[in-house]
Amino acid sequence: MIMIKEVAVNDVYPLRSKVLRPGQPIEACHYKEDSREGVFHLAASDKGAVIGIASFYPEQHPQFNDANSWRLRGMATDPEVRGQGLGLKLLQQGIRHCQARGATILWCNARTSAMPFYRKLNFEIYGDEFMIENIGPHYLMYYKY
């Protein structure tokens, strides 16, 4: 049975490292904002193994005026379980958790390769594609409540 719940940041690091910073030292997946006030991390686990993660930060983007703005980072599912709906379930739960905290917008710098995934949940694209060094092309995307 897959469980999705809020977890401590240490629980998201192994999968974040494996999927989002492969081949880099583990510190590369420690974001400095991880322990900021209000941040929460969701993990999906199956028999104790973490198979999906997503982290949520109270953070404004200069393009959006929303006072209660949240940012999604570190969204990943284990390659073994992709395409089975887990990513959607995890992000849907994150959207609800942010809503419970009063969010009016949830935004992310989405990898271009993952952009169709976010579109499934009605995230919109803002502006043109841009590059993030050492990672690749991205779109600014947002979900408006």
- Residues at the interface with ligand COA (CB under 6 A): 19-20, 75-77, 82-88, 110-111, 113-114, 116-117, 120
Residue nearest to ligand COA (CB): 87
Query: Do you know the residue count of the chain?
Result: 145
Q: Which is nearer to ligand COA, 86 or 105 (CB)?
A: 86
In whole angstroms, the minimum distance from the beta carbon of 61 to ligand COA comes to: 15
Task: Give the full edge-to-edge strand order of the sheet including 40-46.
Answer: 2-7, 40-46, 49-58, 69-77, 105-111, 136-144, 124-132
In whole angstroms, the minimum distance from the beta carbon of 25 to ligand COA comes to: 19
In whole angstroms, the minimum distance from the beta carbon of 109 to ligand COA comes to: 7
Q: Are 51 and 41 in contact (CB under 8 A)?
A: no
For residue 51, the one-letter residue type is I
Q: Which is nearer to ligand COA, 1 or 67 (CB)?
A: 1
In whole angstroms, the minimum distance from the beta carbon of 115 to ligand COA comes to: 7
